[in-house]
Structure 1
Amino acid sequence: MVSLTKSIAVGVIRFSSIVAADSDFDWRTFAASEILSWTACYAGFECSRLIVPLDYASPSSGNASIAITRYPANRSTSEYRGPVLLNPGGPGGSGVDYVVAVGADIATVLGDGFDIVGFDPRGSSFQPLIKQLANYVERELWIPAAFNAVYPSLNESEDALAQQWAKVQIQGQLAVERNQNYMQHITTDNTARDMLRITEAFGWDKLQYWGISYGSALGSTFASMFPDKVGRVVIDGVLDMNSWYSGNMTNELVDTDKALQIFIDACFAAGPHSCAYYAPSTADISTNLNDLMASIKTQPVPVITPTSYSVFGYTLLRNAIFDAITTPFQFFAPLAQGLADLAKGNASTLYTNFFEVPPFECEAGSNNSLPFHENSYEASAAINCGDSTPVNDSVSQLQAYYSAAQEVANLADLSSNLRVICSGWKIHRKDRFTNRTFRGLQYLLPTPAHWEYSRSRNSNLRRTAALFPGSVLLTLDAVAHTSVGAPSTCVLGYLGQYFRNGTFLQKGQCVLRTTPSSHRIMLNLPPMFRDGI
């Protein structure tokens, strides 16, 4: 799923949207080297660009360069603990942006002896190898910025799936024509190899890593490829590896309907003064929501704000709901208010909270050439589809896939786009890592690693943990995608202890509760947590 992590943490870490790093630092003028040569960047951070082989099977065939930033360890401490690499998910999320936004806070949790390191995976953000679209204007016409992380609903119209299929065939053909022999190397296994190079460039022997969402797939892949290089590794919001590498992510949807029901239940429990979308029963709230979705499908709502304008239709409504249930502590209250306003014909609340970006303008004096910073859609397609088993489904086969996914979750009209997108992707490196490779290495991890997950990933966690004997499970009993979406001082305490000391209970559980009762989630207040083990 293209679900860039939007926020992190609690206690000393404050919830705040992840935004693009300050554009005053120009990575294009910053030379790459084969060692980590640090330059001051942003405010309190250091940046470097590391040269790595484009093709590890043929190192002489060319290079790529990885954009890296770090929140430096406190060098006055007597004990330097090395780098902790972070991946915020996506795939296609910018590790540079992520660390610039929250690196100082993560250092507070883990300890000041670590370098907190963000890197842009090959093909992503400040390290783009992707020139699928030629320039800013072509991209804006094809993928408007407001829809960069929005999936079209395959249920919006009778021909929605067929239209999306046709569009991704064009995108796939453009990727082939403009590949220039590098896009096949934008894969998770090569990013894992890059992580080892980064770790070794720090002078460190084993990887220390915290990967979120897609970052769990990256961490699991690294552990299978380099079992003797696993140090202290956390994967958070665990993806099922067989699903990831087979290109069938339907089982990732298992609990989404339950999460939406919790929003409905919490709204009813909160009452009319605390939940703007309150109705006299949970059944009434469900009926009202279904009626609203049917209405918006028939008649979208125009929206004009001081910043921008758009047509708010069924696709945006479905995406707003999905975003809210994956990050409830941040978005349940805005969703409730937005639904209430939309029912009155006002879409501005949902639009501004979930989707609004300034209108596109050509930069004066610029040729608007690529590469550019915001390319998460293209990077996600290249990594998702380049990793997976080739998908050659016809429209009718995709319709059957979507119909089966709907039996698992109502919101399958969004997530099934992953399969549709990959039906147009024709670039697959023959020697890439696959699910068969993964299973073949499942018993080769001698070093215990720690795997953290959210409740909605329970079955995925156990399947993945079974591949790595000696791994430790920490369960977070909360509704959200990853621990980032449901911040817990209990989880952060465990993680800090693990990274600092390498110690962990054989089994751990954190229970996340708001006080005085669960309905306070609707108030959008900083919750006071009572964490239990």
Structure 2
Amino acid sequence: MLLAMGAALTALSILNVVSGQIVEATDWSWAGIYPSRELEWHKCFDCAGQCEGRLDCARLDVPMDWSDPNDDRRVGAGGSGNYVLRLYGKYMQSVVGNNHVSPLTVSSRNATEISDQDLISFDPRGVGASTPRYQCFDHPSDKVTWDAQDPGTIDADRSLSLGPLLYARAKAYSSLCERQVQKTGLAQNSGTAYVARDMLEIVNKGDPAFPDLKFWGFSYGTIIGGVFAAMFPNRVERILSDANASYLEWFRGGERQFLDSAEDVMNAFYSYCHKAGSERCEFFDESPAAIENRFHTLFETLRREPVVVKPNRCTGPAVPELITYAKLKMHLREALYQPYYGWPYFAKILAALERGDGRPFYAFYHPTPQAPAESCEAPVSPFEPLEGMTPSTPDAYPFMRCADRPQGSNHTLEEFVQNARDLMDWSPSVGAANLDNILRCVGRTTEPNYSYNGRAVTVSRRLLVD
């Protein structure tokens, strides 16, 4: 699925300026756009008439297997690029346009003045609205049941006794996912090389006046940009790699680069919370050291005694929910990943949990009341696009990550436990939370049909790596 924003279309004025909420189109859906082998743009997300046709959408039909592009099997072209563009496109246009202004000053009123550039984003194969979709469970309720059995991070028990259980659970999940996703053809047609080739197809089907790629990639997007440059060096006009992942670690199966600065960022939280004061940081104390001490004390308390969120018929949960050491550790990883956005509310969560109140934590993951689960709900087909916009497709990442790793990188239980010790030594704060990147590939057996194993090359134009 592709979502385009142009200068004439402006940025995301589809956001309701008064409420700040996204208003969905009333008579439009992805399913209403028939996939085409050419880029055929359709007006979309009209926001009940408030968007003035500023967004166009397309469904591009590409080969399932680029190692055999004449195969009749077809597929639509990390997380959802459409979701990001729809939310943040106007800010991105303020950066790339000729009439540059600070993203902090962008509003819907000046969006038409800030850029003469079209922006195109897409949901990679198997992600978001693209079909078929990476989907390991037929019923959403099955995924909820599976997640409810999660024993937590390995350091929830100091003896690391959860290691065998986490390892067995990872193998079971891998087996289920491969069996389910092989039905769609995606299992053996995954990996960054596929995404890069899909992206080239988007460029090929675009405006002939712009035959080469201009790309801005974030996080995993930097891996996509690097692989594209290596595979198609003469088709690059500009690539901006922002918030880089390590190419070497990604393709060798390493995990430390993700944690290199974690402790520095953690220490910055203590420092900036103290500087912000009690009005701007709810976990404030008399010194950074005092904040750090309370932080560790809270985690130790949760290890012994989780906080209970009581049931509430209006706001949820339907049954009591435990806020555990492991749940807070996983949330810490998210907060460190996006400190600018995550820290204020993270401080609120910490202060509330310290008082025995788990409601702010629960509200973060359930911002709207949850509808009761249907006991006999219909299965969701991976061949049908989901309605609306989804920020991510959780079952997709393991296939992409593991397809890019070298063969033979499956870890034994003993290797997994040793890796756990190494990562926790490397980053005491979130090393244990990052072990899921290792567990994702345990038990995986499917190898991609199409991959890039060549050497690094020199591109014809410029790359900017930040």
TM-score by length of 2: 0.80
1:109 to 92, 95, 106: 95
Preserved CA contact (<8 Å) 2:274 2:288: yes
1:283 CA drift (Å): 2.1
1:176 CA drift (Å): 3.0
What whole-Å deviation, never above 9, does each CA across 1:81-138 have from its counterpart, x for those lacking one?
Answer: xxxxxxxxxx2x1111112212233223322332211211011111143242223232
1:163 aligns with 2:182: no
* 1:120-519 → structure 2 map (5 Å cutoff): 120-129=123-132, 130-143=134-147, 152-157=152-157, 158-178=160-180, 179-180=182-183, 181-203=185-207, 204-304=210-310, 306-309=314-317, 310-354=321-365, 356=367, 358-359=369-370, 361-362=372-373, 367-371=378-382, 373=386, 376-390=393-407, 391-410=409-428, 411-429=430-448, 431-434=450-453, 437=454, 440=455, 442-452=456-466
The more displaced of 250-259 and 317-326 is 317-326
Preserved CA contact (<8 Å) 1:121 1:127: yes
Which ranges of structure 1 fall in alignment gaps of 5 or more residues? 1-12, 68-90, 453-533
1:388 CA drift (Å): 1.1
Preserved CA contact (<8 Å) 2:175 2:443: yes
Q: What is residue 45 of structure 1 aligned with on the other side?
A: 55
Output the CA distance in 1 between the equivalents of 2:315 and 2:356: 19
Q: What is residue 514 of structure 1 aligned with on the other side?
A: none
1:425 CA drift (Å): 1.9
Output the CA distance in 1 between the equivalents of 2:301 and 2:21: 33
Q: Number of residues paired by the alignment? A: 407
Q: What is residue 65 of structure 2 aligned with on the other side?
A: 55
What whole-Å deviation, never above 9, does each CA across 1:344-393 have from its counterpart, x for those lacking one?
Answer: 10111233235656435457996232226456211011111111124321
1:244 to 1:341, Cα distance in 2 relative to 1, 3 A: same
Output the CA distance in 2 between the equivalents of 1:174 and 1:433: 27
1:132 to 1:331, Cα distance in 2 relative to 1, 3 A: closer
1:188 CA drift (Å): 0.7
1:403 CA drift (Å): 0.8
1:23 to 1:264, Cα distance in 2 relative to 1, 3 A: farther
1:21 to 1:408, Cα distance in 2 relative to 1, 3 A: farther
What whole-Å deviation, never above 9, does each CA across 1:158-191 have from its counterpart, x for those lacking one?
Answer: 4333222212211211233231343111211110
Q: Secondary structure at the match of 2:118?
A: strand
1:24 CA drift (Å): 6.2
2:351 alignment partner AA? A
1:286 CA drift (Å): 1.4
Taking only aligned residues, the RMSD between alpha carbons, in angstroms, comes to: 2.9
Q: What is residue 110 of structure 2 aligned with on the other side?
A: none
What whole-Å deviation, never above 9, does each CA across 1:7-27 have from its counterpart, x for those lacking one?
Answer: xxxxxx99x999897696422
Preserved CA contact (<8 Å) 2:65 2:189: yes
Preserved CA contact (<8 Å) 2:236 2:460: no
Preserved CA contact (<8 Å) 2:193 2:450: no
TM-score by length of 1: 0.70
Determine which structure has greater relative contact order: mean sequence separation of CA pairs < 8 Å that are 6+ residues apart, divided by chain length: 2
Preserved CA contact (<8 Å) 1:207 1:229: yes
1:409 CA drift (Å): 0.8
1:151 to 1:21, Cα distance in 2 relative to 1, 3 A: farther
Q: Secondary structure at the match of 2:119?
A: strand
Q: What is residue 94 of structure 1 aligned with on the other side?
A: 80
Output the CA distance in 2 between the equivalents of 1:20 and 1:183: 35
Preserved CA contact (<8 Å) 2:282 2:347: yes
1:26 alignment partner AA? S
Q: Secondary structure at the match of 1:384?
A: helix
What whole-Å deviation, never above 9, does each CA across 1:477-508 have from its counterpart, x for those lacking one?
Answer: xxxxxxxxxxxxxxxxxxxxxxxxxxxxxxxx
Output the CA distance in 2 between the equivalents of 1:17 and 1:308: 24
Preserved CA contact (<8 Å) 1:18 1:97: no
Output the CA distance in 1 between the equivalents of 2:255 and 2:20: 26
1:45 to 1:363, Cα distance in 2 relative to 1, 3 A: farther
Which ranges of structure 2 fall in alignment gaps of 5 or more residues? 1-14, 47-53, 98-114
Preserved CA contact (<8 Å) 2:60 2:76: yes
Percent of matched pairs sharing the same residue: 22
Q: What is residue 112 of structure 2 aligned with on the other side?
A: none
Preserved CA contact (<8 Å) 1:297 1:314: yes
